[in-house]
Amino acid sequence: MRKLSGWAARFPLFLLYAEAGLPQAVRRSLSLILLGNIFGNLHGMICGSGTTAMIGLANQLKAGDLAFGVMNGIPQAAALLQIPFSLLVNRTHHRKKYMLTLGLFSRALWLVFGLIPLVVPTDPSWLQLWTLIFLLGISSCCSAVINVCWFPWFSDLAPEEIRGRWLSVRDMIVAVVNLGFGILVARLLDTLPLDRRYVIIFLLGGTVGMLDMICFGFCEEKYTAPARRIRLGGMMKEVFRNRPFLRLTVMWTAWCFTSNLCAPYLSRYSVNEMGLSFTQMMLFGTAAASVATVFVMSRWGRALNTFGCRSVMMVAAVATSLTDGFYLLSVPGSVWPVLLRNFFGAMFWSACNLAANSMQLSASPDETRPSYIAVFACVTSLAGVTLGTLTGGSLLEWWEGAGLFTGALDRMKVLVLLSVALRLAVALLLVPPLQNDREGTPGQLLSSLFRWGRRRPFHP
């Protein structure tokens, strides 16, 4: 094995590769997956649900709360296609082929989103908005193949003992890149002329999304289980007989539902009701979250390896539940609720996602992991994210139509209170244990996590 020297000897991912004794081809592939994840995350900053770019485009097309909820829910509803895609991947072992066809096409469609206000007629008034929703549906359906390809691909390449730390290092790197890219996007949204703004922004978003897919074209395909035909009925029975996986799915579905009651609407509320600019949203939202993520992710990665997924998930979920409450202090022109919610929220929601990813890998067998991940994504996206988003949008429109909550405690703040209470209940009651989890309690984790200046690994 080639000895590392210079800066490479100190780079965390290279140290992980050396510790696991990975061959050069696998190291190169994992590094390309990291690069693809970075491009994919940049794509999501423009083209994801509830981004400032999508908020601006939705406002220009005069989308109401429920229509905005539909725009946020469509990509999650398309997760239903992950189940047949997972069966196809298990049978054919053609991950690269699907990423470079369906995945690439789904990202390329975003190149035309910004053209909608320019080329689609405004009469009838609904035509532009529903053209956007139609194209979003096609892109989302094609992109459903991406998750069932890349995540099992990564797990087949990376040994179990380094996965959690690899993901935490990846999240730190992504957070740093987000910081610069987010500020660039915000400045473009605030300064470009309206007739060219979304054309340029979505050209940029589509391009980085395509680069994500292209990175996987240079990765080595590795499979830890042989290709096999799996019947849908038999696969579903197997998945739902796996009690640890089922409990994790129920918990994360409930978490996604309660989180998405208000989360997709907070950024839009900040822009429309609080009057913040796109640059302010990026600086006090995305940038603040990126700084917090860089600051804590190495600690969460070590905590995960020492105390286990359940302790990390419980501590992080309880803390994350409370951070949306900063919006109860919101007034027009104030940036503090946005800053506090995103900075302290990112310190803990990054740990929730890290624990959830690790729990998925731990609770799913190698030979059928794409199917497990597809079922997990399908259930949590449909019953969690989509239903939660549409429920939140429906409540907002119902309360507005009924003239409810029009004072200082407006309809958005009432929705925040409801979401916080429900998320706390999920965090305290539903986080499941795993059979192969580490020992250690949430109290011990908290004690070790906040010993500032401690540089050696956590100890229970």
Q: Residue for token digits 């796109």?
A: 278
| pLDDT tens digits, 278-306 | 888 888 887 888 788 777 777 777 777 77
Max avg pLDDT among 10-24, 32-46, 49-63: 32-46
Distance between CA atoms of residues 13 and 169, nearest Å: 7
Residue 255 contacts residue 317 (beta carbons within 8 Å): yes
Distance between CA atoms of residues 177 and 290, nearest Å: 8
| pLDDT tens digits, 239-251 | 778 888 888 899 8
pLDDT of the residue at 443: 65
Q: Is the pLDDT of residue 117 over 80?
A: yes
Distance between CA atoms of residues 69 and 63, nearest Å: 9
pLDDT of the residue at 395: 92
Indicate left, alpha or beta for 124 from its phi (over 0: left) and psi (-120 to 50: alpha): beta
pLDDT-wise least confident of 107-116, 123-132, 441-450: 441-450
Q: Is the pLDDT of residue 361 over 80?
A: no
pLDDT of the residue at 268: 86
Amino acid sitting at position 33 = I
Q: How many CA atoms lie within 13 A of 255 on its CB side?
A: 23
DSSP character for 273? T
| pLDDT tens digits, 380-391 | 888 888 899 889
Q: Would you state the structure tokens that stand for residue 166, as one six-digit string?
A: 């690899």
Q: Is the pLDDT of residue 453 over 50?
A: no
Q: Would you state the structure tokens that stand for residue 401, as one six-digit string?
A: 């139509």
Q: Residue for token digits 């289980």?
A: 225
Q: How confident is the model at residue 456 (pLDDT cuts 50, 70, 90)?
A: very low
Amino acid sitting at position 433 = P
Q: 3-state secondary structure string, the chain?
A: CCCCCHHHHHCHHHHHHHHHCCCHHHHHHHHHHHHHHHHHHHHHHHHCCCCHHHHHHHHHCCCCHHHHHHHHHHHHHHHHHHHHHHHHHHHHCCHHHHHHHHHHHHHHHHHHHHHHHHHCCCCCCCHHHHHHHHHHHHHHHHHHHHHHHHHHHHHHHCCHHHHHHHHHHHHHHHHHHHHHHHHHHHHHHHHCCHHHHHHHHHHHHHHHHHHHHHHHCCCCCCCCCCCCCCCHHHHHHHHHHCHHHHHHHHHHHHHHHHHHCCHHHHHHHHHHCCCCCHHHHHHHHHHHHHHHHHHHHHHHHHHHHHHCHHHHHHHHHHHHHHHHHHHHHCCCCCCHHHHHHHHHHHHHHHHHHHHHHHHHHHHCCHHHHHHHHHHHHHHHHHHHHHHHHHHHHHHHHHHHHCCCCCCCCCHHHHHHHHHHHHHHHHHHHCCCCCCCCCCCCHHHHHHHHCCCCCCCCCCC
For the chain, give the percent of residues with pLDDT over 90.
22
Q: Is the pLDDT of residue 8 over 70?
A: no
Q: How confident is the model at residue 436 (pLDDT cuts 50, 70, 90)?
A: very low
List b or e across 98-118, with b for residues whose CB sees 16 or more CB atoms inside 10 angstroms.
bbeebbbebbbbbbebbebbe
> Could you count the other beta carbons within 10 Å of the beta carbon of residue 239?
20
Indicate left, alpha or beta for 230 from its phi (over 0: left) and psi (-120 to 50: alpha): beta
Q: How confident is the model at residue 6 (pLDDT cuts 50, 70, 90)?
A: low
Q: Is the pLDDT of residue 430 over 60?
A: yes
pLDDT-wise least confident of 134-143, 173-182, 415-424: 173-182
Count the residues in the chain. Answer: 460
Greater pLDDT, 150 or 302: 150
Query: Mean pLDDT across the chain, nearest whole number?
Result: 83
Q: Would you state the structure tokens that stand for residue 362, as one six-digit string?
A: 């731990």
pLDDT of the residue at 1: 41
Mean local confidence (pLDDT), 310-332: 88
Q: How confident is the model at residue 111 (pLDDT cuts 50, 70, 90)?
A: very high
Q: How confident is the model at residue 376 (pLDDT cuts 50, 70, 90)?
A: confident
Distance between CA atoms of residues 163 and 305, nearest Å: 10
Structural domains in the chain, CATH included, are 23-449 (1.20.1250.20)
What is the C-alpha end-to-end distance of the chain, expressed in Å? 34
Residue 286 contacts residue 182 (beta carbons within 8 Å): yes
pLDDT-wise least confident of 45-54, 66-75, 148-157, 440-449: 440-449
Distance between CA atoms of residues 383 and 379, nearest Å: 6
